[in-house]
Structure 1
Amino acid sequence: MLQEPAARYKGHRSYSYLEPHSDYRVFELAEEVGRVPEHDLGLTGDQRARVTRLLTEHAAISLHEHPVILPADVRELRTYNRTARQRTGYEGLARSGLTAVFDNFMAGASCVTSENGWKWNDLVYALGMRMSDLYKQDHVFLATSLADIRAAKQDGRLALVAGLECCSPIENELDRIDILYGFGVRQLGIAYSQANMLGGGLSERHDGGLTHFGRRAVDRMNKLGIAIDISHSGDQTSLDVIEASRVPVFITHAGARSVWNTSRMKPDEVIRACAERGGVIGIEAAPHTTLSETHKHHSIESVMDHFTYCVDLVGIDHVTFGPDTMFGDHVGVHNTYAANYAHDAGNRPEHPRVEYVAGLENPGEAFGNIVGWLVTHGYSDDEIAKVIGGNTIRVLEQVW
């Protein structure tokens, strides 16, 4: 359910203050609005009004997104990413109803100097280029504190929280965590599927857990006030991080393995441990991840099967949403980088392939449809307020 564009949005397009073709390479980009048909949740007029009211009255925070605009022709993706000038989807975000978005950039795919990603220099390129453009408009702004998120709600702006899905670029340099904090990064993942100096990734057949260096890194993040993400970490590493951290941690974008049996999903043991220490799981919606036996054709219904399971497992105070969407062909991104980032150590259950996840295709529509689904399924205003942002704020009050 798309919202009306935010009043503060004045139509800014990425790098529009520069000269195209001269200052930067031009690509035909995917549509931010209308690339796929709007998903019909069957809302009545009163229900639509309630969705709008809830998004107006309460903070809506997406715990994990990549709100960049992809090339219209996904075959140009590697060339596009190599320029490091990924475009931010300002128009789509202005229609999202979000108060804040945890933007995890495209550091693993910003292959400026390497085909394999996650290099320190490439990460600095990805951060610096996106931030330089962010500072040229005033609707979306870099948020580094809860006060910033609250100010965004007050002012009708959108707070962008800079995050990264893994710590591989820091290599064995602990102080690089401080540098990232200085650049405005406020959320870091431990490992992205493959093992690194900190610990095991979820695609590894054997997860040795959090390393000695990883424990030092967790301690440094705690001292600085950086939220820790274990979404792509292996099971033992996830448990070790939860135990080692002095504050709650996030599973920013995942689902329940009991609902869909792949290593990309988290087992009950990890979800429970995260919640018992005060943490939160954000339910994922990237194509072909949060499927279910009931809804093998990936859509918002499949995703909400994981939501309802996690609510039953650990309670509504420990569940939110990290849809993990972007503006453009997300399936094409997976196909382009499939060899780089394996997500599963074993076989995946058979399921139909989709071109996109109906109802949760991009950051502009995701939260409107999530709230619409919750409204049609009988959730109270207080329950909806918790799962669209309140739970995240509670954790950030302890972490930041």
Structure 2
Amino acid sequence: MSDRREFLGQLTALTAAAAAGVALPSLAMAAGPRTPAWPPYRDTVAIDGASGLMLVYLEEGDPAIAGELRAARDCGLAATLLTVAPAGRFWLDDAAFERARANIDKWNGLIERHPGHLAAIRSHDDLQRAHASGRVGMIFGFQGTEPLGEDIERIPMFRELGVRVIQLTHNRRNLVGDGCMEPGNAGLSNYGHQVVERLNAERIVVDLAHGSQRTIREGIAASKAPVLISHTGCRALADLPRNTADAELRAMAERGGVAGIIFWPYLRTDTQPMAIDVVRHIEHAIDVCGEDHVGIGTDTPIAPVERTPEFERNNREFMRGMKEDGIFAKDRPDDLYTFIPDLNSADRFDTLAALLSRRGHSDARIGKILGGNFARVMREVWG
């Protein structure tokens, strides 16, 4: 698998193209703040369980920075769970450790340079302050434990550096357990149990997204604190390895955890998912877990994508590669997107909230789904 595809698999096709030096598509520019489609949105602590900005890939003075900051202002999010560690490769040396340290340094520098738009999140109080100030909080997280290597003492070190959520595996097997694309479905290793225990002790949230079915189930059982499945879909609606089965969703909810519904093509097994598919997965998760255990983890950048001819060409190339690698079935169309076309705006959470409201969901329930449930887990774990 090429480096470009690996990074795309982590941060969407748009972000990966930037990381690999591919010409970036332009961003669809919002006209500016508007009246919320769902009136309570401005008072809601909205949290995306998997998202970010492309600022880390842009050089100082790049005119695209203004568009990224505008999207940060327009999205209305209090925070996003930002991946600061590499994922999707076999990291057999300290490359992942060094890159994670470098990425954390980059993001800390960006937050310092843009204090009117970004905030570092280290505590639940930081979430409240970010929301009150209209900034987007950056929650540092890993998508995979590769940066730990075999040194469990790196966990407190990374906490000191600001990491507050650690996902155990990506798609592949690592020292902690099996990812969702491993046919062996081996679950947590002995070392994996030690990692979960230390994450609990250091008050870092355990994230089980991308885990194999057994890794998710055993991770839930091993953790003494509520866990996240930060970005996933419901396997009962789309039987794909990246989605979570009802049994694991129930077990997660019974221990106080939250599952975030993803915006990737995992929501269907045939054509491109749309907003109604996001809603269906949210509603199924509510039926299985209850409204206190469902969130949103888009796994898409905050800024909307302008579907230029260049972007369409790059996206089709990416999707063909993903199908070759077995991430998507070979009969899926080449023009799938790793975003939801009718939610392709910075304020997508507000739009989705309005859809849920029209379907009869209460304002209180919608507030939980948009971020209240994630915030509760973070408060319980972080203290």
Of the structure 1 ranges 368-377 and 236-245, higher mean CA displacement relative to structure 2 is found in 368-377
> Where does 1:80-95 land on structure 2 (aligned, <5 Å)?
89-95=68-74
Matching residue of 2:5: none
What amino acid is the match of 1:222?
A: N
User: How far apart in 1 are the matches of 2:83 and 2:230?
Assistant: 10
- Contact 2:140 2:164 survives alignment (8 Å): yes
Question: Which of 321, 337, 344 is the matching residue for 2:296?
Answer: 321
Matching residue of 1:62: 48
1:230–1:122 distance in 2 versus 1, CA, 3 Å = same
User: How far apart in 1 are the matches of 2:324 and 2:205?
Assistant: 26
What amino acid is the match of 2:96?
A: K
**Percent identity over the alignment?**
23
What amino acid is the match of 2:223?
A: S
Residue 385 (structure 1) shift: 1.1
Higher helix share: 2
Matching residue of 1:267: 245
Residue 107 (structure 1) shift: 2.3
TM-score (norm 1): 0.77
- Contact 2:227 2:258 survives alignment (8 Å): yes
What amino acid is the match of 1:62?
A: D
Q: Does the alignment pair 1:312 with 2:290?
A: no
Matching residue of 2:263: 285
Q: Does the alignment pair 1:120 with 2:115?
A: no
Q: Does the alignment pair 1:299 with 2:271?
A: no
> Where does 1:354-365 land on structure 2 (aligned, <5 Å)?
354-355=336-337, 356-361=339-344, 364-365=346-347
Question: Which of 211, 217, 222 is the matching residue for 2:195?
Answer: 217
> Where does 1:1-400 land on structure 2 (aligned, <5 Å)?
29-34=24-29, 49=35, 51=37, 53-68=39-54, 89-105=68-84, 107-108=86-87, 119-138=96-115, 139-286=117-264, 288-291=265-268, 296-326=271-301, 327=303, 328=305, 331=315, 334-335=318-319, 338=322, 343=327, 350=332, 353-355=335-337, 356-361=339-344, 364-400=346-382
- Contact 2:84 2:100 survives alignment (8 Å): no
Residue 153 (structure 1) shift: 2.0
- Contact 2:94 2:149 survives alignment (8 Å): no
Secondary structure of 1:253's aligned partner: strand
Two-structure CA RMSD over aligned residues (Å) = 3.5
User: How far apart in 2 are the matches of 1:199 and 1:243?
Assistant: 14
TM-score (norm 2): 0.80
Give ranges in structure 1 of 5+ residues lacking alignment: 1-25, 38-47, 72-79
Secondary structure of 2:336's aligned partner: coil
The ranges of structure 1 where at least 4 consecutive aligned residues each deviate by more than 6 angstroms after the TM superposition are: none
What amino acid is the match of 1:320?
A: G
- Contact 2:38 2:354 survives alignment (8 Å): no
Secondary structure of 1:173's aligned partner: coil
